[in-house]
Amino acid sequence: ALWKARRRSLEPPCLPCLPLIGSLLSLGGPHPPHVLFKELQAKYGATYSLKLGSNKVIMVNHHIHAKEVLLKKGKIFAGRSRTVTTDVLTRNGKGIAFGDYSATWKFHRKIVHGALSMFGEGSASIENIVCAEAQSLCTLMSEASAADLSLDLSPELTRAVTNVICALCFHSSYSRGDPEFEAMLHYSQGIVDTVAKDILVDIFPWLQIFPNKDLQRLKHCVSIRDQLLQKKYDEHKADYSDHVQRDLLDALLRAKRSAENNNTAELSAGPGGLSDDHVLMTVGDIFAAGVETTTTMLKWAVAYLIHQPQLQKQIQDELDRTVGLERAPQLKDRGSLPYLEATIREVLRIRPVAPLLVPHVALSDTSIGDFNVTKGTRVVINVWSLHHDPEEWPNPESFEPARFLNSDASGLVIPSPSYLPFGVGQRVCLGEALAKMELFLFLSTILQRFTLTARPGDPLPSLEGKFGVVLQPPKYYVHALLRPGWERHEDKSLNP
Ligand code: HEM
């Protein structure tokens, strides 16, 4: 009994010397936070804590504890903390990503999940939207290739991915240079930058990287965003019909109306239901969570492909065999392109875009393994540690898509439970299916046509991440070479 009592009162080892950690940790410094927190395991074990005034943070670096937090005790750890910026961004927590766990939040998440799966795998429309964006990106790359120019793909990928999200949320698509679209690109960047900084400061206050002018910038960007969202919302309300669902806004409007007309327990969202603010903030969330992440993963994938011409060749052989040159790749080809799928999985492993997920908060007193956890504690899952655990991933820093292939390379596997690029459980990424679809369609469409190389005379792209908003590859230029056999397809877009 004594032993049990002792066991129960175990506290995770606490980092003793914050000024030291604080000085090691600076965003521009040699150790991005996730790397430093991985290294500290050697001294403190895989689960340890940091205490900062009244805030306590537990850092989880091993998959067993990570799954206890996210799955086994997923509801207990489903909370989020509020910060100054998330309150500004989400009208005091009315979105999903930063909304605290509640009846309204659960209802809200369920509606959005349903609406997204409607557009998800198996359904044609979003696939067509993504394919069209991929084709238009390829046209641009062809023009550059014909003029022997190299491209910074970053803004082009951002534009393409933003257009997909615009189509999904309010069935509008924009051409280059459209003022509304340019405004959107601009404010989105401002929002993602400031919010991500503030989340880091919430967990690691000593970083002190969040000056007042960031808050000013955020407020400005949010007000521009809100005007645009309000305009779209008003338009949707004006021509809403119960019988047509054109996009996510329609789906949310319908859910809101049926909840209002129907007070059954199942549909009830708790006091207040879904307000107009909730609907607007959902769309804001999808933009904030869906653009930068997907774009960044595409940039990492291209950077790694440039490093591995052999891998490009393997994927292209696969494409030539299954898709050929006469049509564009489609989602249904996914099962017959294992090398490409394995490459996507490996990119998500080696450079997880959200290496610390979004911090979770314990909603009541609980435990992780033998360690006590008190209500209100923030829990950070270090996915970087999970994905670079040498026990689970031999040579973790080496980029080897074949890890995800079965022994005769004919099918896919997930070789370790230490793999959570989208999180798991109550707070799992809502856009996982959409993001995977985009990665597959963009990369297959590009590789069908082009071989990607560095700009002549340039070194290969750096594979070191810059930690800021998300884990970003430094800027690089791509020299895209049209593949043999493609000349005759020029000026003609392929239909899926
Ligand atoms: C490759 C691209 C993406 C990656 C790697 C990614 C990863 C993640 C991760 C790690 C989380 C946090 C999980 C947690 O807190 O435990 C998350 C949350 C979220 N993601 Fe994604 N994401 C991606 C794309 C998208 C897209 C395209 C959308 C839009 C539809 C999206 C919408 C969301 C939302 C709404 C949340 C908040 C969920 C919640 O708090 O309940 N994500 N994502």
| Mean pLDDT of the 26-55 span | 78
pLDDT value, residue 122: 43
pLDDT value, residue 275: 86
pLDDT value, residue 5: 46
pLDDT value, residue 1: 45
Task: Read off the tokens for 96.
Answer: 């999903």
Each residue's pLDDT tens digit, 196-218 = 777 777 777 666 666 778 888 88
Q: pLDDT at residue 443 above 90? A: yes
Are 291 and 87 contacting, i.e. CB atoms less than 8 angstroms apart? no
* DSSP codes joined into one string, 430-458: TTHHHHHHHHHHHHHHHHHHEEEEEPTTS
- With CA atoms as reference, report the closest residue to 109 among 82, 86, 84, 75: 75
- With CA atoms as reference, report the closest residue to 306 among 166, 106, 477, 187: 477
Q: Which residue has the higher pLDDT, 366 or 40?
A: 366
Q: Specify the residue with its C-alpha closest to ligand 1, atom 42.
A: 431
Spell 408-442 as b/e; 16+ CB within 10 A means b.
eeeebeebeebbbbbbbbbbbbbbebbbbbbbbbb
pLDDT value, residue 274: 79
Q: Specify the residue with its C-alpha closest to ligand 1, atom 17.
A: 429
Is the minimum distance from the CB of 422 to ligand 1 under 6 angstroms? Answer: yes
Q: Specify the residue with its C-alpha closest to ligand 1, atom 40.
A: 97
Q: Specify the residue with its C-alpha closest to ligand 1, atom 23.
A: 293
Is the minimum distance from the CB of 291 to ligand 1 under 6 angstroms? Answer: no
Q: Specify the residue with its C-alpha closest to ligand 1, atom 27.
A: 290
Are 113 and 120 contacting, i.e. CB atoms less than 8 angstroms apart? no
Sequence letter at residue 285: D
Q: pLDDT at residue 362 above 90? A: yes
Each residue's pLDDT tens digit, 466-475 = 766 567 888 9
Q: Which atom of ligand 1 is nearest to the CA of 297?
A: 1
Is the minimum distance from the CB of 423 to ligand 1 under 6 angstroms? Answer: yes
Is the minimum distance from the CB of 358 to ligand 1 under 6 angstroms? Answer: yes
Is the minimum distance from the CB of 184 to ligand 1 under 6 angstroms? Answer: no
Classify 376 in phi/psi space as left (phi over 0), alpha (psi -120 to 50) or beta: left
pLDDT band at 25 (very low <50, low <70, confident <90, very high): low
Is the minimum distance from the CB of 311 to ligand 1 under 6 angstroms? Answer: no
- With CA atoms as reference, report the closest residue to 338 among 246, 443, 413: 413
State in Å: Cα 352 to ligand 1 middle: 12
Mean pLDDT of all residues belonging to the chain: 86
Q: Which atom of ligand 1 is nearest to the CA of 383?
A: 10
Each residue's pLDDT tens digit, 56-100 = 889 999 999 999 999 999 999 999 988 778 888 888 888 888 888
Tell me which of 106, 285, 428, 429 to substitute to probe ligand 1's pocket, judged by most ligand atoms within 8 Å of the beta carbon.
429
Is the minimum distance from the CB of 387 to ligand 1 under 6 angstroms? Answer: no
| Mean pLDDT of the 223-252 span | 88
Give Cα 412 distance to the centre of its chain: 22
Is the minimum distance from the CB of 132 to ligand 1 under 6 angstroms? Answer: no
| Mean pLDDT of the 364-393 span | 96
Q: How far does the chain reach from its first CA to its final CA, in angstroms? A: 68
Residue 224 and residue 231: Cα distance in Å, rounded? 11
Q: Does residue 429 have a known ligand-binding role?
A: yes
Q: Which residue has the higher pLDDT, 122 or 66?
A: 66
How many residues are present in the chain?
A: 496
Other Cβ atoms closer than 10 A to 7: 12
pLDDT band at 266 (very low <50, low <70, confident <90, very high): very low
- With CA atoms as reference, report the closest residue to 89 among 98, 80, 76: 98
| Mean pLDDT of the 395-402 span | 97
DSSP H stretches of helix in 239-370:
248-261, 276-290, 292-307, 309-322, 338-350
CA angle 107, 379, 432 (to 5 degrees): 50
